[in-house]
Amino acid sequence: MKDAKLDVIVKAIDLMQYTLTITSNRKRYPVKHPILARYLLWCIYRGWIIFVTGELGVKYYGRYTDDIYLIVESREYAKFCLESICQFVESLNIELNGKTQIIPFKNGLKFCGFHTYVTKDGKIIRKLTNEKKRANQKKYKRMAKLVKQNKITKDTFNRSYNSFKNHISKGNCVKFGLSLDENIANIVN
């Protein structure tokens, strides 16, 4: 990751969520070119995947931009993986944030705004986290009021709202989606 002229400084806000800055002569320049930023992230992720699957031998993991999880057999092995990952990311000048933790699989896992868990009979349940529910209810109620006051266009609202509805369709969120639709309709009409 180090170059003779430029150092790429990568800092994690969340596990593997990066803020990229290029420094030269002690001046910082944000990486604004999207292709360069994507390439740099791809190099880091590629190294990450090789490290996790190769050196650590983890079979079950997931990654989507700033969210990453590993599923391993024991708490002891999870501690070993965490220590190894800390050493790996330190070599890249990355810091893990304080939210990084080891939890029992039976508690489920928070990933990409969803809480996913397995029931006793083996059914996989994926629900939007309560924090995301509250935040988005508040956001879309506020936006609906702005539409009613003609401060934002209905098209702007619909693009954002439909994007969120598509996101929640990936989980078991039918009741929440219907309830939100009803609340929005009551405000707009």
CB proximity list for 79: less than 8 A, separation 6 or greater:
102
DSSP state string for 65-120: TTEEEEE-S-HHHHHHHHHHHHHHHHHTT----TT-----GGG-EEETTEEEEE-T
Give the range among 24-38, 75-89, 120-134, 156-170 with minimum mean pLDDT. Answer: 24-38
H or E segment at 137?
helix 130-148
Percent of the chain with pLDDT over 70: 72
Residue 89: pLDDT above 80? Answer: no
Is the separation of the CB atoms in 21 and 37 below 8 Å? no
State the pLDDT at residue 155.
95
- pLDDT value for 65: 64
Report the C-alpha gap between 91 and 19 in whole angstroms. 16
Among 8, 13, 14, 45, smallest CA distance to 30 is for 8
